[in-house]
Structure 1
Amino acid sequence: MVYKTITAFFKENYHKSPLLIKAPGRINLIGEHTDYNQGLVLPASIEKGIYFAVTDNHDNVIRIETFLTQPEKIEFTLKGEHKAFTSFWGNYFKAIIEILVAKNYPIKAMNCVFGGDIPIGSGLSSSAALCCGFIYALSKISGNEIPREEIALIAQEAEHKIGLNCGLMDQYAVLFGKKGNAFFLDCKDLSHRYIPINLEGYSWVLVNSNIKHNLVVDSEYNKRRISCENIVRNVKKLRPEVNSLRDVTISDLEKITEKSNETDLKRAKYIIDENNRVLRMMNALTNGDEQEVGRILNEGHWAMSTQYEITTNEIDALVTIGENLEGIIGSRMMGGGFGGCTINLIETAKLDSSISSLLKAYQNQTGIAAEYYHLAIDDGVKVIEY
């Protein structure tokens, strides 16, 4: 187990028994790119995660190291100043500390060793787990427990500082997940509730295409966001009360057709339809209707492919292969896009044969060896007893 390795490393190097915190990755059952449009999402936290072993120290520094990505140790002062570092994760921690200092949160010195088993770049939101887990750990050590809603906002602000204009879905899923349940979040007012996943005899499996995605400044992700904002701006001229695509209807789109870019219109329609798919998925999960769940997954995927244009040929191949295999009820790309994983609902009795056939056909078509992960729905950020 990863957390045992991290704990043992901490004890050996810092000679103390640490507080151990797990920040899970998340899947998203449906509702892609709706969060920054104040729409609806249906994620769930999973058993894979990032673990933080932490204690306080008397050295007046925040000392962080990992040995599971590229080995590196970084030290920050309590004001966020730091020695030079090269690892990508250092930028997240730097942003978080600077935000906490600016908000006048009391921060204590801390030793931290972290690592995990979330595949980087696979759409499981490793960055949200990294940020939320670190903020939670720092608040625990500092004796000033920050409310989870506030942790979500700080984590989002940190991602914005390094160039990714994400919504709040990932952070809320990581912080508020509940074992055995999907997590419905209305991104307009942040109201949320748990949706039981009543699908006995069926398993969730993630298939990693091994096409890595990297969502950075000026990325295609941000271009989609601009398209959505363009449509809202045009609709607002007719209906001043409109503030996001959540307030826009298909009828509104028809009225601005001549004044809007065709690509922007297509992307806006995707968002409106995707919100409806979230509502349909909630009912299907609650009613245990696996066939409807499968239909929604596939429908959502091809909408991402043809309307929002965020899939890849390889991801499309995975879904197409699955549509023609017995036992795979439905699948779709999951995450920001341009690589990563598909999430698949598979009949448990046919799981091994279905996955074997899928991976073989994918490698034959693309020359790429995909990987797969069984998914278990788990709790949000929490302290782990060991």
Structure 2
Amino acid sequence: MIHKEITSYFKENYTNLPTLIKAPGRINLIGEHTDYNEGLVLPASIEKGIYFAVSGNDQSNILIETFLTQPEKIVFQLNGDHKKFEAFWGNYFKAIIEILVAREYPLKGMDCVFGGDIPIGSGLSSSAALCCGFIYAITKISGKEISREDIALIAQEAEHKIGLNCGLMDQYAVLFGKKGNAFFLDCKDLSHNYIPINLEGYSWVLINSNIKHNLAVDSEYNKRRVSCENIVKQVQKYKPEITSLREVTLEDITKVEEDVNNIDAQRAKYVIEENDRVRKMMKVLVEGDAKAVGGVLNEGHWAMSKQYEITTSELDALVKIGESLDGVLGSRMMGGGFGGCTINLMKTDKLDTSIKSVLEQYKEQTTIDAEYYHLAIDDGVKVFE
């Protein structure tokens, strides 16, 4: 178990006994690219996560080692100065420390060893887990609490600093998740509540296409956001009270269609309809209607493929394969897009044969070996006992 390896390494190499923090990854049942449009999302935190073993030190620095990809050590000064580093994760920590220094947060010296079992680039929001877990760990050492709401905002600001203009869904899911429940979040006012996931006889499985994505490097994510903003600006010409796509209707888009780019209009329609899919998913989950849940998953995937154009041919192939199998009720690409995983609802009594069929057919069609992960819904960021 990775958390035992991290704890053991810390005990062998540092003087103090560590506090162990777990920051989970997250899935999203439905509601992709709605968060930055003040829309609706339905994520959940999962059992896989990133673990931080931390303790205070008497130095004026934060020393960090990772097991995440390859062993590497970075030292950050408490005033925000740092030496050059190669690790991609260092950019996130650098941004977080700079934000905390600017806010005059009382940083204290800290030793930190971290690693985890979230596959990088798979759409499980490893970056949000990295940022939220690190900030939470800092509060445990520095002794000054930061509310979970503020941790989410700091983590979001850090992602913005390195080039990804994300919304708040990932951070809220990582921080506020609850075992056995989906987390409904209204991104307009940040109100939220829990929706029990109780589909007896069915299992959630992630299938990793092994097409890696890096949204901060790939500008396609930000291009989608600009499309949505373009529509809002056009609608504001006759509805000046509108502040986001959340308040725009399909009728509004029809009125401005002649004055906007066709692709922008298509993308805006997707977001409005995706909000409706979130509402529908909550309803059928509460009703325990597994077949309907699967239908919403499939509908959401093909909307992402045809309207928002954020899937890949490999992800489309995974969903098509699932549609041909009796044991798969529904699946869709999950995450920002352009790679990563599909989330699949499968009959538990046909689980092994369904997974085997998907992996074999995917390999035949793409020559790529996919991976699968059984899903368990877990709590948000916490001290791990």
Query: Shorter-chain TM-score: which interval?
Result: over 0.9
| 2:350 aligned residue | 350
Which TM-score applies when normalising by structure 1?
0.99
| 2:20 aligned residue | 20
Q: CA deviation at 1:218?
A: 5.9
Retained in 1: the 8 A contact 2:180–2:197? yes
Amino acid at match of 2:375: L
| 2:169 aligned residue | 169
| 1:115 aligned residue | 115
Q: CA deviation at 1:145?
A: 1.3
| Distance of 2:163 and 2:79 partners within structure 1 | 21
Amino acid at match of 2:147: P
In the alignment, structure 1 residue 178 sits paired with structure 2 residue 169: no
Amino acid at match of 1:231: I
| 2:78 aligned residue | 78
In the alignment, structure 1 residue 278 sits paired with structure 2 residue 278: yes
In the alignment, structure 1 residue 384 sits paired with structure 2 residue 368: no
Q: CA deviation at 1:217?
A: 4.8
Retained in 1: the 8 A contact 2:155–2:171? yes
Retained in 2: the 8 A contact 1:175–1:381? yes
* 59-68 vs 307-316, greater mean Cα deviation: 59-68
- Provide the secondary structure at the position in 2 that maps to 1:256: helix
| 1:268 aligned residue | 268
Retained in 2: the 8 A contact 1:53–1:114? yes
- Provide the secondary structure at the position in 1 that maps to 2:344: strand
Retained in 2: the 8 A contact 1:123–1:340? yes
| 1:33 aligned residue | 33
| Distance of 2:140 and 2:67 partners within structure 1 | 23
Q: CA deviation at 1:216?
A: 2.0
- Provide the secondary structure at the position in 1 that maps to 2:198: coil
| 1:336 aligned residue | 336
- Provide the secondary structure at the position in 2 that maps to 1:105: coil
| Distance of 1:268 and 1:173 partners within structure 2 | 24
| Distance of 2:303 and 2:372 partners within structure 1 | 24
Could you give the per-residue CA deviations for residues 47-102 of structure 1, whole angstroms, max 9, x where no partner exists? 00000000000011100011341211100110111111100000000000000011
| 1:158 aligned residue | 158
In the alignment, structure 1 residue 224 sits paired with structure 2 residue 216: no
| 1:141 aligned residue | 141
Amino acid at match of 2:344: N
Amino acid at match of 1:354: S
Could you give the per-residue CA deviations for residues 252-278 of structure 1, whole angstroms, max 9, x where no partner exists? 011001001000000000000000000
Amino acid at match of 2:53: A
| Distance of 1:24 and 1:354 partners within structure 2 | 27
Q: CA deviation at 1:164?
A: 0.3
| 2:208 aligned residue | 208
| Distance of 2:104 and 2:188 partners within structure 1 | 28
Amino acid at match of 1:6: I
| 1:2 aligned residue | 2
| Distance of 2:205 and 2:39 partners within structure 1 | 26
| Distance of 2:104 and 2:139 partners within structure 1 | 13
Could you give the per-residue CA deviations for residues 293-320 of structure 1, whole angstroms, max 9, x where no partner exists? 0000000000000000000000000000
* 36-45 vs 59-68, greater mean Cα deviation: 59-68
| 1:300 aligned residue | 300
Amino acid at match of 1:22: K
Q: CA deviation at 1:30?
A: 0.1
| Distance of 2:67 and 2:197 partners within structure 1 | 36
- Provide the secondary structure at the position in 1 that maps to 2:269: helix
Retained in 2: the 8 A contact 1:198–1:287? no
Retained in 1: the 8 A contact 2:67–2:116? no
Q: How many residues align?
A: 385
| 1:66 aligned residue | 66
| 2:57 aligned residue | 57
* Equivalent residues in 2 for 1:125-140, closer than 5 Å: 125-140=125-140
| Distance of 1:79 and 1:98 partners within structure 2 | 8
* Equivalent residues in 2 for 1:189-200, closer than 5 Å: 189-200=189-200
Q: CA deviation at 1:351?
A: 0.2
| 1:369 aligned residue | 369
In the alignment, structure 1 residue 104 sits paired with structure 2 residue 104: yes
Amino acid at match of 2:117: D
Amino acid at match of 2:220: E
RMSD (Å), alpha carbons:
0.7
| Distance of 1:317 and 1:134 partners within structure 2 | 36
| Distance of 1:384 and 1:357 partners within structure 2 | 37
Q: CA deviation at 1:24?
A: 0.1
| Distance of 2:233 and 2:124 partners within structure 1 | 32
| Distance of 1:10 and 1:45 partners within structure 2 | 26
Amino acid at match of 1:112: C
| 2:319 aligned residue | 319
Retained in 1: the 8 A contact 2:184–2:194? yes
Q: CA deviation at 1:138?
A: 0.2
Displaced runs of 4+ in structure 1, greater than 6 A? none
Amino acid at match of 1:313: S
| 2:90 aligned residue | 90
Could you give the per-residue CA deviations for residues 340-372 of structure 1, whole angstroms, max 9, x where no partner exists? 000000000000000000100000000000000
Structure 1 alignment gaps of length 5 or more: none
